[in-house]
């Protein structure tokens, strides 16, 4: 590993104290994975891919059959007709013993799917990391944090030096002004003027150094965010590869999702890429739903309405409305999408989020709103509930961003919105989770940007995608 640069190696980081931890970690990972994970690699590497170079470390030995067994086990439990969740006399959802077992099996399957994805992505991730190292950019959180703190510290040191000069410069300026008032051409005026210019220069140097460090910091952060993003794309591709081996995603071949004829062509384009992230059965359930789907644009907040109406005027013009007697028109469901998204959001992410809400309503195998039931169970477990616990044991509902009409139960989610509840059978775990998984929002649940990691929710969402 320590070949010189001319020999095709890169600078060995082992000897730089700050890099030692990540280097040792990577070497340990490579070593462990050589030993334990060959069976999984052999199974899940697609025939067209070159063989992976370095593999990811797992804390336990797994193989592809371990993944499929866990998926199968969860599916058997999901097919069991016993109720998973019931409503008590107070109108609260109560998860049955069977419901807890199902959620545990789904999340466990998701954990294994996630490991398979990480392994499948590892070769691409390693290439991205190596390229970053060759550019001498930070290539992991550890290096990034060290470099960021160093630059912040440097900028603030130069800033302090600048500040320290403020008073002496003022004093010197007074001295110079006094000398100048007494005699413009005196020796004293000349000396104080020279000293003042020197001090100005010194102060200016500190200011320049501070700006330079700040600029370097900006560039470094932006470079690292690019590395993070590329890794996210690599993992997204691996997610598609691994999930597709478990069940088909999107519709077959060139087939398109069925949308109401009122749908604008440009809005169809927005939905198409999002639909490809969903299990085929879920997408088909949207096509089979008696309430057809359409897509509308908004400059306000995106949303999904399952009870809108298309009104046709005498002129032939049509209007989609959420606010009229359905008997006056034709029932329709609407994905309302914001095609000029706020910072950090993408149109595809928004479309994916809202289509997840569509699936909550349309995908109901054996008449059960399975996606809602699983989310409610997950949320109860995460917010202080669980087998034998009651609503009183859970985190209380609190207004979301101070709005009384929207409520959340706080937990250690990547974003508080994930803990949102509605009176109807819809939650935000799947929608935000899908957005994170496929568009990298909320730090991709992997702790990118300023978000923190949520491996449990990550596993749950993958488990639902693989099994439900």
When the beta carbons of 123 and 428 are compared against Zn ion, the nearer one is: 428
Query: Residues 6 or more apart from 245 whose CB is under 8 A from it?
Result: 44
The least distance separating Zn ion from the CB of residue 310, rounded to whole angstroms, comes to 23
Is 260 strand, coil or helix? coil
Torsion of CA 104, 440, 259, 75, to 10 degrees: -20
When the beta carbons of 63 and 305 are compared against Zn ion, the nearer one is: 305
The least distance separating Zn ion from the CB of residue 375, rounded to whole angstroms, comes to 11
When the beta carbons of 203 and 431 are compared against Zn ion, the nearer one is: 431
The least distance separating Zn ion from the CB of residue 304, rounded to whole angstroms, comes to 7
Closest CA to 467 of 117, 112, 40: 112
Indicate the residue whose CB is closest to Zn ion.
431
Is 13 within 8 Å of 19 (Cβ atoms)?
Answer: yes
When the beta carbons of 245 and 277 are compared against Zn ion, the nearer one is: 277
Residue 165, token pair as written in the block: 């000069």
Query: Residues 6 or more apart from 390 whose CB is under 8 A from it?
Result: none
The least distance separating Zn ion from the CB of residue 96, rounded to whole angstroms, comes to 26
Task: Name the pairing type of β-strands 330-337 and 293-297.
Answer: parallel
CA 130 – CA 153 distance, rounded (Å):
27
The least distance separating Zn ion from the CB of residue 69, rounded to whole angstroms, comes to 33
Is 453 strand, coil or helix? strand
The least distance separating Zn ion from the CB of residue 394, rounded to whole angstroms, comes to 21
In terms of Cβ atoms closer than 10 Å to its own Cβ (0-12, 13-18, 19+), residue 212 is middle
When the beta carbons of 284 and 431 are compared against Zn ion, the nearer one is: 431
CA 59 – CA 33 distance, rounded (Å):
10
The least distance separating Zn ion from the CB of residue 336, rounded to whole angstroms, comes to 11
Closest CA to 464 of 420, 417, 432, 425: 432
When the beta carbons of 375 and 431 are compared against Zn ion, the nearer one is: 431
The least distance separating Zn ion from the CB of residue 382, rounded to whole angstroms, comes to 17
When the beta carbons of 284 and 375 are compared against Zn ion, the nearer one is: 375
When the beta carbons of 154 and 425 are compared against Zn ion, the nearer one is: 425
The least distance separating Zn ion from the CB of residue 406, rounded to whole angstroms, comes to 11
When the beta carbons of 103 and 428 are compared against Zn ion, the nearer one is: 428
When the beta carbons of 111 and 428 are compared against Zn ion, the nearer one is: 428
CA 193 – CA 181 distance, rounded (Å):
13
Closest CA to 330 of 305, 307, 302: 307
Spell out the long-range contacts of 261-265 with Cβ–Cβ below 8 A and sequence spacing 24 or more: 262/294, 262/310, 262/318, 262/320, 262/332, 263/294, 263/295, 264/295, 264/297
CA 237 – CA 443 distance, rounded (Å):
17
The binding site for Zn ion (CB under 5 A) comprises: 428, 431
In terms of Cβ atoms closer than 10 Å to its own Cβ (0-12, 13-18, 19+), residue 253 is exposed
Its sign, for the CA torsion 256, 257, 259, 264, is negative
């Amino acid at each position: 590993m320590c070949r010189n640069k001319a020999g095709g190696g890169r600078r060995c980081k082992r000897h730089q104290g700050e890099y030692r931890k990540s280097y040792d970690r990577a070497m340990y990972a490579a070593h462990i994975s050589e030993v334990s994970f060959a069976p999984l690699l052999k199974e899940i590497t697609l025939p067209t891919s070159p063989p992976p170079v370095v593999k990811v470390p797992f804390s336990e030995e797994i193989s592809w059959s371990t993944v499929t067994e866990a998926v199968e086990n969860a599916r058997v439990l999901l097919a069991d007709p016993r109720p998973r969740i019931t409503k008590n006399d107070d109108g609260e959802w109560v998860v049955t013993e069977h419901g807890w077992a199902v959620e545990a099996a789904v999340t466990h399957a998701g954990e294994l799917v996630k490991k398979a994805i990480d392994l499948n992505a590892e070769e691409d991730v390693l290439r991205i990391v190596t390229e970053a190292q060759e550019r001498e950019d930070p290539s992991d959180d550890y290096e990034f944090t060290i470099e960021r703190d160093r630059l912040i510290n440097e900028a603030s040191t130069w800033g302090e030096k600048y500040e320290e000069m403020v008073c002496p410069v003022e004093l010197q300026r007074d001295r110079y002004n006094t000398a100048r008032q007494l005699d413009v051409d005196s020796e004293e005026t000349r000396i104080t003027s020279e000293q003042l210019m020197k001090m100005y220069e010194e102060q200016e140097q500190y200011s320049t150094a501070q700006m330079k460090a700040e600029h370097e910091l900006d560039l470094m952060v932006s470079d690292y965010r690019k590395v993070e993003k590329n890794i996210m794309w690599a993992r997204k591709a691996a997610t598609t590869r691994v999930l597709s081996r478990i069940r088909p995603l999107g519709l077959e071949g060139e087939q398109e999702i069925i949308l109401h004829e009122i749908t604008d062509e440009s809005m169809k384009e927005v939905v198409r890429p999002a639909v490809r992230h969903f299990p085929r059965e879920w997408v088909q359930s949207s096509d089979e739903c008696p309430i057809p789907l359409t897509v509308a644009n908004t400059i306000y907040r995106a949303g999904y309405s399952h009870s809108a109406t298309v009104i046709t005027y005498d002129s032939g013009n049509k209007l989609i409305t959420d606010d009229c007697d359905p008997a006056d028109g034709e029932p329709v469901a609407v994905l309302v999408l914001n095609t000029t998204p706020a910072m950090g959001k993408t149109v595809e992410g928004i479309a994916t989020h809202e289509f997840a809400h569509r699936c909550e309503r349309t995908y109901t195998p054996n008449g059960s709103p399975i996606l809602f039931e699983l989310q409610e169970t997950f949320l109860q477990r995460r917010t202080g509930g669980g087998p034998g616990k009651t609503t009183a044991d859970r985190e209380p509902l609190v207004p979301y961003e101070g709005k009384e009409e929207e409520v959340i139960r706080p937990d250690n989610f990547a974003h508080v919105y994930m803990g949102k509840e509605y009176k109807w059978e819809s939650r935000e775990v799947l929608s935000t989770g899908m957005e994170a998984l496929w568009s990298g929002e909320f730090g991709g649940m992997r702790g990118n940007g300023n978000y923190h990691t949520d491996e449990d929710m990550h596993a749950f969402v993958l488990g639902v995608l693989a099994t439900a």
